[in-house]
Amino acid sequence: MLRQYIRSAMGRAHYEILDDDGTYYGEIPGFEGVYANAESLEACRDELEEVVEEWVLFRVSQNLNLPTVDGIEIRVQRVG
């Protein structure tokens, strides 16, 4: 389910070429603080996927909510 969640999130990504240095910038709307910047679009996508994965794992470790993506919900429940 985590893999599907990340794939769906990546499907929402927006990319642009920055005018000042010609690098690629990518972000995912609704995922605050998740962005990447790289020399090529492929490298930017790879970096963004890694960032979103780390962001999800961090939020789960801190019992923070995650946005619903394409009907996929990851719920964090405190045990104990």
pLDDT digits (tens, 9 = 90+) for 6-50: 999 999 999 999 999 999 999 999 999 999 999 999 999 999 999
- The label of the residue with tokens 């960032």 reads 51
What pLDDT, on the 0 to 100 scale, is given for residue 79? 67
For the chain, what is the mean pLDDT? 94
What pLDDT, on the 0 to 100 scale, is given for residue 80? 65
State how far the Cα of 26 lies from the Cα of 12, in Å rounded to an integer.
Answer: 10
Q: How confident is the model at residue 76 (pLDDT cuts 50, 70, 90)?
A: confident
CATH 3.40.50.1580 fits 2-61, yes or no: no
What pLDDT, on the 0 to 100 scale, is given for residue 59? 94
Where in the chain are the domains? 2-61
